[in-house]
Amino acid sequence: MTTYAITPVPKPRQTRRDKWEKRDCVMRYRAFADEVRLRGIEVDHNSKIVFVLPMPKSWSKKKQEENDGWPHIQTPDIDNLVKALFDAVYKNDSHIWRVNAEKRWGYKGSITVL
């Protein structure tokens, strides 16, 4: 089990225009992908991936305590989180045939590979 202190970012829908236009969502994704590559994250088809998404700062301390570790059932979609991670790790991820992933609330964002 390895936990990386990287806040998960979903894969944005990109167009050709994103090569020169600096949209925030694309820049966040590119920074995320660079960080994943820098840390050398390894994932295969037998891995379980747990995405921990940070709770909003606007939530009260009580609400944060109640929701820490609970399933995250809002956007971003889990498939976009997995897509972003796999696209950052692999040039071609066609060999991945099974994915076991979940997303949860946490105080700080992280990615755990089991």
CATH of the domain at 40: 3.30.1330
Predicted TM-score of the model (pTM): 0.92
Q: Quick one: pLDDT band at residue 21, thresholds 50, 70, 90?
A: confident
Range 72-91 average pLDDT: 95
Q: At residue 44, does pLDDT exceed 90?
A: no
Round to whole Å and give the CA distance between 81 and 65: 24
Cα torsion angle, 76, 12, 26, 34, sign: positive
Range 50-74 average pLDDT: 97
**Mean pLDDT over all residues of the chain?**
94
Round to whole Å and give the CA distance between 14 and 26: 7
Round to whole Å and give the CA distance between 32 and 98: 23
Domain tally, the chain: 1
Q: At residue 22, does pLDDT exceed 90?
A: no
Give the range of the structural domain holding residue 77, as residue numbers without chain letter. Answer: 2-113
At 33, which amino acid appears? A
Round to whole Å and give the CA distance between 63 and 71: 14
84 closest CA partner among 53, 107, 46, 56:
53
Q: At residue 45, does pLDDT exceed 90?
A: no
For residue 35, the model assigns a pLDDT of 97
At 77, which amino acid appears? D
